[in-house]
Structure 1
Amino acid sequence: MKAKTIIVTGASTGIGKAIAQLFLQKGYNVVINAANAANLEATYKELGNPDRLAMVAGDISQASTGQLLVDTAVERFGAVDVLVNNAGIFEARPFLEVDEAHLDRFLSVNLKGTFFTSQAAIRQMLQQEEGAIINIGTVLVDHAIGGFPATAPVASKGGIHALTRQLATEFGRNNIRVNGIAPGIIRSPLQTKNGISDADSLAGLHVLDRIGETKDVAAMALYLAGSNFVTGEIINLDGGHVSGHHFN
């Protein structure tokens, strides 16, 4: 069987890197993206498998970046079978301190980036009569935390959740499956960027009393990429964050 091809945005670190690594291990062709070209090149070298790996540096908020990713996948490997919209930014800021420029950053990178990269991929998937898109959202859309004010990124991720269901419905008859993963607290560089030096201290937010690992998200992405009868779902990969809380 011909190897399938996946595009992973935001793949130089954290969740995106873990997804790219797992799919390479499973025999996929992989196209990775990140805004930071130096970080992306370092990851490209670390992942190895240059015969099945391509990289495209660029800001995903620019529609041209998404189109270049698709063009690269088709020119190098002949198809776009899976797109993982992982690239995104997250930052806590009190609602009353959010100005227009701050909000626009999250809408541009998170929502607009997912929107237009999906658009480029779906055009190609329609020609192939099949495809899968996996969007990375957040469990905070369904279960907010009062002590963690993050209205701008959560609003943008809420748009991604809505977009996921709409695209699944709009293109279901074309055998294009669109799902989302809503992670809880995952051990990744994102925690450090948000000033959280000890991510394990947040374990109590989950009924399993532990945080997740990037490999957990990668495993879910692999399942969704291979499933031919799951679409329109937002899967909470959250250690039970949404389902309940301990009383202590």
Structure 2
Amino acid sequence: MLLKNQVAIITGGAGLNGLGFATARLMAEQGAKVAILDLEAADPAGAAARLGEGHLGLVADVTDKASCDAAAAQVYAHFGRIDTLVNNAGITQPVKTLEITGADYDRILNVSLRGTLYMSQAVLPTLRAQQSGSIICISSVSAQRGGGILGGPHYSAAKAGVLGLARAMAREFGPENIRVNCITPGLIGTDIIKGKLTEEKKTEIAETIPLARLGRADDIAGACVFLASPLSTYCTGITLDVNGGMLIH
């Protein structure tokens, strides 16, 4: 097993059809103890219970620094170490530039970008003390191509910010054997697109992708396991495209 005896935190991981839960499930299958962090309404404890015994679900709000610090402290108190953080929490909004309000902008950036910073800050003291660790940040192909199918410009900006933040942290903490990498998913068939695209539109989009299908949550989970595992010990500051060839550059 690739992650035996490791402890992984996954934010925004309670949605059973989402990227976070798929990642939690695969990491657990690979031997990790997993802590799922999410809002109370998402029931992170219930999601963690679905992974089997020995996992943890905690209520946390990634936009609140004190909440992030408290969650990281609880994970450390429970498991005695932290090896991997997956900054997965994020929200989207399909609006155009002139429609974005200040409240919209704050809401999108607070979850995706501020949340990535706050959770990284929360685990970094432990990773530094261990002189090891992996932080995985979920960005988006939208950050690379200047917009997506469902996300507005503020979503693209937030996810582009995640790329820059991750690279800066990779430079800063590399000497302490802490790796920081990004994954840029393409269009993934999760609840985030449910009811927003017709089957005809999905087929039309799939025909433009070299691998001729939309992504699956497990596609992203596999990339996360790779970046958390010893298979990627010489990878830091990278952007791993998982988009079926939607963006080839």
Same fold? TM cut 0.5: yes
Shift of the alpha carbon at 1:133?
0.2
1:222-233 paired onto structure 2 within 5 Å: 222-226=225-229, 227-233=232-238
Q: How does 1:51-90 map to 2 (within 5 A)?
A: 51=54, 53-90=55-92
Give the superposition deviation at 1:145.
Answer: 4.7
* Pairing of 1:226-245 with structure 2 (within 5 A): 226=229, 227-243=232-248
Equivalent position amino acid for 1:210 in 2: R
Alignment of 1:124-143 (within 5 A): 124-143=126-145
Query: Is the CA contact 1:83–1:118 (under 8 Å) kept in the aligned structure 2?
Result: yes
Which stretches in structure 1 are left out of the alignment for 5+ residues? none
Gaps of 5+ in 2: none
SS in 1 for 2:192: helix
| TM-score for the superposition, normalised by structure 2 | 0.91
Residue aligned with 2:194, SS: helix
Aligned ranges 1:39-58 → 2 under 5 Å: 39-49=43-53, 51=54, 53-58=55-60
| Residues paired across the two proteins, number | 241
Match of 1:30 in 2: 34
Per the TM alignment, residue 26 of structure 1 is displaced from its structure 2 partner at its CA by 1.0
Helix, strand or coil at the partner of 1:171 = helix
Identify the residue that residue 212 of structure 1 maps to in structure 2. Answer: 215
The alpha-carbon deviation at position 144 of structure 1 amounts to 3.1
Root-mean-square deviation (CA, aligned residues, Å) is 1.9
Distance 1:180 1:129 in 2: 20
Cα deviation, 1:181-209, whole Å, max 9, x if unaligned, reads 0000111111127x224373331342212
Q: Once the 2 structures are TM-superposed, how far is the Cα of residue 32 of structure 1 from its aligned partner?
A: 0.4
Tell whether the 8 Å contact from 1:7 to 1:69 is kept in structure 2 after alignment. Answer: no
Counting only pairs closer than 5 Å after superposition, residues 122-201 of structure 1 correspond to structure 2 as 122-145=124-147, 150-192=152-194, 195-198=196-199, 200-201=202-203
The aligned residue for residue 118 of structure 1 is 120
Taking structure 1 as the reference length, the TM-score comes to 0.91
Provide the residue aligned with 1:6 in structure 2.
8
1:91 offset after TM fit, Å?
1.3
Deviating beyond 4 angstroms after TM superposition, the runs of 4 or more aligned structure 1 residues are 145-149
Q: Is the 8 A contact 2:148 2:156 kept in 1?
A: no
Q: Which moved more, 1:28-37 or 1:159-168?
A: 28-37
Structure 2 CA distance for partners of 1:62 and 1:145, relative to 1, 3 Å:
closer
Comparing 198-207 with 15-24, greater Cα deviation is found at 198-207
3-state SS in 2 of match to 1:135: strand
